[in-house]
Chain A
Amino acid sequence: MAGMTPANERLSMLMSCYLDGALMPNELDEVVEALEHDETTIAEFRRLQEIRRTLRMLPMLDIPLYLLPGEHLGEQLSAYLDGELITMEMPAVLAHLDSCTECRRELGELDRSRTAVRALPGLETPEFLEVHRAAAKHAKRGMRTAVAVASGIAAVTIAFTLGPFSSEPEPTAVSIVDLQSRHTAIASVPSSGFGVQVSNAP
């Protein structure tokens, strides 16, 4: 910082230590006194805070394991199957698959397991997703009624046959305190922007 006096420089250094939580008690008094009474010091303090926040937000620069010699593709295989590889990654992944029988075998297994999962029956859709399908539902109502009656009869028959052997799955217990702490944690994330517009005051 050009043009800083030794006193300012010392204060700036103290504020850095303050942000690191590394001040001695008498130094803390000095910083607090300056922050309480000097606008320039407050501005400098906020600048230092901003720099530190920016540094914290920088992404970690890890080298992907599959680019290292001797490493297998691992999670990149899922990304490959999902079409989520970025353009730069594709040649490296394809080159590795070309030369690595183990990764080719793993890719084949992963693909087969996904096909099997896709073939499973779907889960019940929540009601508010069904709103757009209301018209289609209406048309099929007659058919559904017949199916429901048949299903009901089948269910009762199966129930009397298999009922004694079935066991209820363990319910998952969730505490509202836990859910609220999850909300509180997310709510503490610095927002990316508030949608507030300018208008004339009443």
Chain B
Amino acid sequence: MTSLRRTVFVGTTALLMMASFTNVVSASELDDVLKEARDSTYTASRLVVSVWGDQTQVSREFVERADGMEMVRKDTSWSMTGNGKTVSMGDEPAGITFLAHQRDISTSRYTIVRRGKVSHMSRPCQIVEVMEGDILRASFIVDDRSGALLLQELYAENGDLYRRTTLSDFRAYRTYEAPSGGSEVPTEVVMSEDSVLLPDTIAGYQLVDAFSAPGGSEQGFYTDGLFRFSLFFLGGNTVVSGFEDSMTFVTETGLYEMVPTAQAVRLYWRDGSNRYVLVGDLPPDHVADVLSELPIPRSRGMWSRWWSLLFG
């Protein structure tokens, strides 16, 4: 009996010690972590490596964050994104501003765990993990001083790391002079609108905003609180360029044209006369789940083809 008590005591002590190194964080604290990361001010070199199947995508760029905006400079061109706006200055200067509505979301599939303090690039940091049930979905190294995410790792359901983002040459609170010419870029303004075509939820992702898009199409913006994607519902007379060298993404529901990039995945398919494009940062298993709830790829019927051929 004494031996059993000792075992229970030792076990309890060990569990308490483990608990002291592993703090569960509340939802509002996660909001703070992500908000601070978004609002952090720094300059750095950013390396993003993504793996999709047998393809690896790499992007390296110099980034500068300040006041919720991110600027990426490449040679003589630059682009700035933040607070619903993008402005790019290069061969074809263009800008777009979304007057977003963004409904509240109520999904609750993630929990957050702080794994303790760590020194990263000689800076005091902490490790924050995002769990989906028992699955590790994301691991962040957060800079204590600035709140910036110095390292982000995203995982698929099977535990495979599919995207790793690292900052180097990191200089907190350093900013450079804003480039000139931004105010002269022609900017399209897009208002949030109600949608009757887009589903309110898809595989745990919620529709938080909808907009009209080029060619009379609709764009639905979905998030589950961590990952985000846009679903473009395109009319039958819309031609989408950029999928000429696509790879095939195979799911139980069919074959999709896919172009992965370092930052996101892009998918294209058609269902009879309608066409769809999905762009987002979601993990491969989430992509398959989302596609299973959307119209499946299908070629057009004979009558439909004849009708188009004859009447357009």
Contacts and interface: CB of A to CB of B under 8 A. Distances in A.
Interface stretch (A74-82, A83-91, A95-103, A181-189): A181-189
A174 B214 contact: yes
A173 B67 contact: no
B312 A168 contact: yes
Contacts of A129: 196-197
Interface in B189-212: 190, 196-197, 199, 208-209, 211
B24 A35 contact: no
Interface in B1-54: 22, 24-27, 30-31, 34-36, 38-39
Contact of B173 (A35, A185, A192): A35
A183 B229 contact: yes
Interface of B: 22, 24-27, 30-31, 34-36, 38-39, 67-68, 70, 81-86, 88, 96-98, 100, 102-113, 130-131, 134, 145-146, 172-175, 177-178, 190, 196-197, 199, 208-209, 211, 213-217, 219, 221, 223-226, 228-230, 232-235, 237-243, 259, 261, 264, 266, 268, 271-274, 277, 279-281, 294-295, 303, 306-308, 310-312
Contacts of A187: 221, 228, 230, 281
Contact of B172 (A32, A148, A163): A32
A128 B241 contact: no
B39 A46 contact: yes
Given A181-B86, A197-B108, 9 more contacts: A155-B310, A166-B312, A186-B211, A188-B84, A188-B86, A189-B84, A189-B100, A192-B105, A200-B24
B237 A169 contact: yes
Most chain A CB neighbours (cut-off 10 Å) among B24, B34, B277, B310: B310
A173 B235 CA distance: 11
A29 to B, nearest CB: 10
